[in-house]
Structure 1
Amino acid sequence: MGPTSNFGPVVRDLRAVRGWSQEKLAEMAGLDRSYIGEIERGDAVPSLITAQKLARALQTRLSELIARCECVRGPSPD
């Protein structure tokens, strides 16, 4: 699992910690709620501009958001 596939779950976790719905995050980021769902499920990979909007809405730096994606570990290949 790479940083791209981890992006959605990281966004979902940060949103949940804040107690926000997808609709609230979408409103804060200026995005459509259905697109937030696609990102969180991994059905869509956001552009750099969209990732920046999400980071700002989640009150974190884009670099921190990306770093969290890199830290998420999946099963180790054997």
Structure 2
Amino acid sequence: MKEIEEVFGRILGSTIRAAREKAGFSILKLALIAGIDRSTLERIERGESIPSSFTLYKIRRIVPFDLTAIFDKVEKETHHLDLDQK
């Protein structure tokens, strides 16, 4: 993965995990309700996998979080990179 993708995956995963925990859901419960595989959700939360836009939509419908804040955090952490590194 390129550095920007790693940062994005890490921030997205930790944001989803925090939203899930705040809502009081286990990984298994959120995965079942969202209709996604538990192992997929685990990889997303660890930042090892970036979900499709539809998977992200399904997760966000159940445990809302601010997508704009994720983009802002990624930009803040990666603003020093040249565009070819992003």
Which runs of 5 or more residues in structure 2 are unaligned? 81-86
Cα displacement (A) at 1:66: 1.2
The question of 1:69 aligning with 2:67 is answered no
Quick check: which has more Rg, 1 or 2?
A: 2
SS in 2 for 1:20: coil
- Cα deviation per residue 1:27-66 (whole Å; 9 max; x = unaligned)? 11100111110000011000111110111121x3xxx531
Which contiguous aligned blocks of 4+ residues in structure 1 show a shift greater than 6 angstroms? none
Please give the TM-score of this superposition, normalised by the length of structure 1.
Answer: 0.75
Question: Alpha carbon RMSD of aligned pairs, Å?
Answer: 2.2
Compare relative contact order (CA 8 Å, sep 6+) and give the higher one, 1 or 2: 2
Whole-angstrom distance in 2 between the partners of 1:16 and 1:71? 22
What does 1:1-78 correspond to in 2, within 5 Å? 2-58=7-63, 60=64, 64-72=65-73
Letter matched to residue 71 of structure 2:
E
* Structure 1 residue 4, shift from structure 2 partner: 4.1
- Report the CA distance shift for 1:67/1:3 in structure 2 as closer, same or farther (over 3 A): farther
Which sections of structure 1, spanning at least 5 residues, go unmatched? none
Percentage identity across aligned positions?
31
The answer to whether the 8 Å contact 1:12/1:40 transfers is yes
Count of residue pairs brought into register by the alignment: 72
CA displacement, residues 11-39 of structure 1 (integer Å, 9 cap, x when unaligned): 00000001110001101110011111000
